[in-house]
Amino acid sequence: QNIVTGFIKGSLGVDGLLDLRARVQYHAECGDDLHLRIHAQSREEQLKYLKSNTELPNYDILDFSSLESGSRLPVIEENFHVLAHNYAQVTGKRLFIIPNILDRSTIKLLEDTARLYPIELNTERVEIDTVMIVLPSGYKPESIPKAVDFENPFGHYKASVVVQGDQLIYYRYLAINKGHFPAADFNKLAKFYEQVFKADRAKVVLVKPE
């Protein structure tokens, strides 16, 4: 029941500007932090939080809103409109973009061969993201990351990118499992998050033919 689903639709310009609108739904425990911010922070403080929690290099949040369902299973829907300046790296006739716009993992664990105590993971969640980007006229994909799909006792991750006509479609699924694991498995956990971190930043290269 702890699920986050995100749907992002945007339009990319030849100058690297991305105009995007996002709708994110937080189910059950995944909405706890947002619930607290809605009820404990001013709109200005919420805006400041949004601006500090994304890897976009330069952007303006034009509008945002949150709506709580009030149902037995809590659901909070968050909507926002963003202009991301320099989202695409422009180099000559090529554009370099990371299709995972707003949900990149930041977890990096150092390997530990001397760990003595078991691993205890107390939370579980599922993140599902769909991103649709209208590409600038004349640009075609030159390089697209291969689809990835890996799974172990700690979780399951898969992601794919396709280009259909003038539209790029990105899909990401991440499931995090809870449980108790032996200390000897710590490096497997670190490897899992390393794979997620890397896959979340895979780049697409677009080129405009001569």
Q: For 155-208, what is each residue's pLDDT tens digit? A: 999 999 999 999 999 999 999 999 999 999 999 999 999 999 999 999 999 999
d(CA 26, CA 78): 8
d(CA 12, CA 44): 28
Question: Where is average pLDDT lowest: 54-58, 62-66, 69-73, 94-98?
Answer: 54-58
Residue percentage of the chain with pLDDT more than 70: 100
**Average pLDDT in the 52-66 region?**
82
For residue 132, pLDDT beyond 90: yes
Question: Where is average pLDDT lowest: 13-17, 40-44, 83-87, 193-197?
Answer: 40-44
The beta strands (E) that lie in the chain are given as: 3-12, 18-27, 58-68, 75-85, 89-91, 94-97, 119-121, 125-134, 140-143, 148-152, 155-164, 167-176, 179-181, 204-207
Which band of pLDDT confidence, cut at 50, 70 and 90, is reported for residue 133? very high
What's the chain's average pLDDT?
92
Q: For 84-127, what is each residue's pLDDT tens digit? A: 999 999 999 999 999 999 889 999 998 888 889 999 999 999 99
For residue 33, pLDDT beyond 90: no
d(CA 177, CA 121): 8
